[in-house]
Amino acid sequence: MSQDFESIERDVGAAVDGDPAAVAERVRTITLGALSHGKLDTDALKQVTDAVLKGAQQGIERPDRERTEAIREAVRGLDEALATAAQATLLAVKEAVGRGSEYSRQEIRGTLDQLGAMESNFLRTLSDAGRGATGLARATLHELAEHARNSGTAVGGRVANAGADLARAVADLTREQVQSGAQTLRNEAGLLAALASGMLRGIADRLHPAGSDNGKGGPRDPQT
């Protein structure tokens, strides 16, 4: 993934220091746009999440109470964007399973493992951001990480809803491929991540079509 992470930080910073009511939606849109470039894999998720959290901390110039609320809203927007990324990955795995031997079973299983780790990776990155922050931002991020661990996240809920069924489907596919001696036609690493990224672009375009004010108060999909 070729990304200008400083640009992501600047965009998130501007969003956080803007209209408080629009912070979550704008951060969600920025995150989706960043994730839909290149391959939607673990490295991309971590790098974009890091950039978003850095931008959220750097963009605060309001009084303390509003600063706390802005960080909360930024993290909520990030969580919602990651849930949408999880949805795209779920769709990609479903398509790969449905197309049988066209995709390497190792890559399908690896992507399923990545999907299962999305929530824990998000929580780890959030905790790391808290440790690297100072003052009110540090306290707020720690509180948000603890609350998310106890109450769950949007991304974790999205994965839990479909993960078990997908795991069974992948196990069945693996048995079928082994029993039939099927040869995979697509063994190149990253093809499934690229497929997931393409699906994420489709979701993001549907959420924020061209001319919708770049996600500032644009249409929302109730399923994302």
Convert 10-43 into a string of H (helix), E (strand) and C (coil). Answer: HHHHHHHCCCHHHHHHHHHHHHHHHHCCCCCCHH
pLDDT digits (tens, 9 = 90+) for 159-194: 887 766 677 766 666 666 555 555 554 555 578 888
Does 215 fall in a domain? Answer: no
More confident residue, 179 or 197: 197
Does 15 fall in a domain? Answer: yes
Residue 54 predicted with pLDDT over 70: yes
71-83 average pLDDT score: 96
Does 49 fall in a domain? Answer: yes
Res 214: pLDDT: 45
More confident residue, 113 or 153: 153
Does 217 fall in a domain? Answer: no
Res 31: pLDDT: 96
Average pLDDT taken over every residue of the chain: 81
Highest mean pLDDT among 24-33, 57-66, 104-113, 157-166: 24-33
pLDDT digits (tens, 9 = 90+) for 85-126: 999 988 888 888 777 666 777 778 788 888 889 999 999 999
Instruction: Give the number of domains in the chain.
Output: 1
Does 216 fall in a domain? Answer: no
pTM: 0.83
Res 192: pLDDT: 84
Question: What b/e sequence results for 186-203 when a residue is b if at least 16 CB atoms lie within 10 Å of its CB, and e otherwise?
Answer: eeeeebbbebbbebbbeb
Helices (H) and strands (E) in the chain, counts: 9, 0
Residue 2 predicted with pLDDT over 60: no
Does 212 fall in a domain? Answer: no
Res 215: pLDDT: 42
Amino acid 113 reads: D
Res 222: pLDDT: 37
Res 48: pLDDT: 95
- The parent domain of residue 30 ranges over 1-181+192-207
Does 169 fall in a domain? Answer: yes
- Band of residue 63 on the pLDDT scale cut at 50, 70, 90: low
Report long-range pairs for 161-164 (Cβ below 8 Å, ≥24 apart).
162/90, 163/112, 163/115, 163/116
Does 187 fall in a domain? Answer: no
Report long-range pairs for 141-147 (Cβ below 8 Å, ≥24 apart).
141/53, 141/57, 141/71, 141/75, 144/71, 144/72, 144/75
36-54 average pLDDT score: 91
Neighbour tally for 209: CB within 10 Å:
10
Res 209: pLDDT: 57
- Band of residue 131 on the pLDDT scale cut at 50, 70, 90: very high
Q: Is 190 helix (H, G, I), strand (E, B) or coil?
A: coil
